[in-house]
Amino acid sequence: MRKNNWKPDRNDYWARSQDEIRLDKLDPGRGYRHLVTINQLRAVIHMLPDWDEVAIGLDAIALAPGRSPVEGLYFTGFGVIDICAWPRRLWDHAAVASHVAAHRELLDRLGVDYRRNHHGYEIRWTEAQARAYQLLHILPHELGHHHDLITSSRKRSIGRGESYAEEYANRALDELWPLYVNKFDV
């Protein structure tokens, strides 16, 4: 009789908690590409305000496959953040007006060209602008969800939701911006 001696790989951040935060780069998927490298991700992590606090319970940050229109994900209960790959074509020809309105200040700060069209908005990203958007907004937004979880009284759910994650990302942006533009192109 054969025994099944299978057990999860100790480096599998989906199966078990990690001793240190894993930075992982997965295949971007067909029609997508990663604009962020692991080295760029690592550099921005070291710039993040309150990193020592927000890193508690975080097991991995993955440069994950594209899932348009999803830009990033936080997996409650796993301590995993995905920064989704960017569509191979940089420009977005049908951006939703509410998304542009919610991020107008950041788009302006990054110097992104956006204009109304018959689908909503056309956003004309450069690679450097899209990368900065992922590192200065998507990453802190998903970290905001994680911070929401670890600072909640029950530590089981993210009770304050999207508004908390957006506020967290905006606070982080104010501190990150001068450090980021000193190190990277926008």
Mean pLDDT of 102-128: 96
Q: Give the model confidence (pLDDT) of 14-63 as tens digits.
A: 666 767 899 999 999 999 999 999 999 999 999 998 999 999 999 999 99
Rounded to two decimals, the pTM is 0.90
To the nearest 10°, report the CA torsion of 40, 28, 66, 30.
Answer: 150
First-to-last C-alpha distance (Å) of the chain: 62
Sign of dihedral through CA atoms 80, 142, 148, 159? Answer: negative
| Residue bearing the bigger pLDDT, 38 or 13 | 38
Domain boundaries, the chain: 22-90+125-183
Does 77 score more than 90 pLDDT? no
pLDDT digits (tens, 9 = 90+) for 158-178: 778 899 999 999 999 999 999
Q: What is the C-alpha to C-alpha distance for residues 108 and 118, in angstroms, rounded to an integer?
A: 21
